[in-house]
Structure 1
Amino acid sequence: MTTIRTAALIGLGAIGAAYAERLQKHLKHDFFILADEGRITRYKELGIRVNGRDSRFRYKPLTSPAESAGLIVFGVKNDQLDEAIDCVRPFVGPETILLPLLNGISSEEELKAAFPDNPVLYAMCVGIDAQRDGRDIRYSKLGQITFGTRAGEYPEAEAAVEQLFRDADVPYDIPDDIWREMWWKFMINVGVNQTSSVLRAPYGIFQTIHSARSWMEEVMNEVVQVSRPAGVGLNDRDIARFRPVLDSLSPEGKTSMLQDIEHGRKTEVEYLAGKMVELGGKYGVPVPENEQLLKVIRILEKM
């Protein structure tokens, strides 16, 4: 079995940093953060703390001599993926495994197109409530990384990542049908991320106010309806499966899209509601909630 001896992360956001701390503790000098020189200077000057612990990450500038990594984890946003792909090329060797943790259902295909000879695993984060405020990253639940392959494409790569996560104490799950799980997570993001950004609501609002949760689930149901002609076949039980996950999160926790709105950053609405409008048109399924969310969140981005 292939053993991952070196790993890198590009995209040191809240979620990326939370998992990076575990990987660095295990791999030590053989784990590094890929970033441009300007970001590295800011990271070093600011210092990154995870749950109050100073995390002295090893940084590698994109202009440094190439050193291929056994695993590269993508923690960037969707609109940063093209740039990230160009940045990591010198660090991708013939056996480098690529693991994207992006929201949505398209990043894996983009990576496959960019690196057709490398194993690309389908992956997502579930149940993590990490938030970033300046240098401080905090979470009450680390959640887990759910990953796998479609049609058993890369069994050795899957086994290698599983062994690394087990050794590094990174919570993980390998489902029987990773594509269906990706759509389930897409349903979650479409529902809670978008409604939370419009309501400016932390998780506690959806835990305690029935009408907020009901609206979130109406938005999720549009994903269920679209998933059927798409051949995925989500159902009402998939919506119900998210309820205990939501209730386990910190009431003060916030979705990444709400954090983006609060900090004046561009959101991922084009990859959520935008994708839903595209799929609704393709399959002839009405998605009125997502059509409205797309309009409203685009306005919020400009305010």
Structure 2
Amino acid sequence: MSVLQTGRQALLGALARLPWRPATRDVPYRRGARIAVIGNCQARGVARSLEVLLPDAVVTLVPTGQLGRSVRTLRALAEGLADYDRVFSQPITGHFPDGGSAELLRLLPRARLFPAIVFAAFHPDMVYVGNLSAGRETGLVPSPLHTYHSAITLFGYLRGLSEEQILRLFRDDALAQLGFLDGWDLAAEDLVATSRAIGFDLAPELLRWSRRGAFMHGINHPKLFVMADIARRLATEAGLAPAELPVEAYLADDLLGEVIWPVYPAVAAAYGVSGSYIFKRRAMPKVPPPVLDLSGLVRESLALYRTLPRARLTCQRIEHWSRHPDICALFDAA
């Protein structure tokens, strides 16, 4: 081992022994409550909404992607957040050897859990492909739209269909046969049950969001007003008196820079919202939003799948469809 490598390892070892502290922004005019928000990409919307709703608060975002890397144990995380007035966290599982959400609440009595939002009714064709148990994105198969895939396209490919045959499966009667037009109740039940399991019942919010139309950019990317509602409720129930204002009128929606999956026209008609087959890729700085039509998505997806071993193209939806003869017959007749 070289002297340079030895010195680097020694430095990393010394840094690892330092107490962990979250990265904070020093905003001179903010001298109010110190709040930490822990979570995935949705948590940024909650944190930024809290900054609008609580103009004096100092809000620190702790992305779950840092957990297990910059901070190695749950106890170290709790110690680093001990000086905060409030800690709002999405459920933590699988990041630390010494526990998850239950232990965090025990170590930080002022912590409160809030749910991760997953709602598939508007985007029932949108799936992940690959090994979800691998953690983070390491086991996921990339796609023309980051890590999001069309289940119809993938199943069509696995059954040997051409691009033209796959495109014919996006017709209204086929989508209905696949159950794409009646997924609301199951999606709502799953979201409400998940939220109630951590003591944050979202049933009233879900009713309000549904009155505003399609409230998701994709299966796991809510629109900003959804995260603002959660931020407002967290602040209110913590006794922090948030301002009475529509956050989305003052703040840009960061998740608009990510993949936008359209609500297919037949699905849109079922729920009374606008629909299309225009997909948006992840945004690039200072250029128009890069979009992709349905034929482009199918064509690029097929080209990608042909470069991969079939063993990598695993998906729970595909496994479910493959066990149903009527769905297999629908695809084979395309």
TM-score, normalised with respect to structure 1: 0.35
The structure with higher relative contact order (CA 8 Å, sep 6+) is 2
Choose between structure 1 and 2: higher strand proportion: 1
TM-score, normalised with respect to structure 2: 0.32
Larger Cα Rg: Structure 1 or Structure 2? Answer: 2
Choose between structure 1 and 2: higher helix proportion: 1
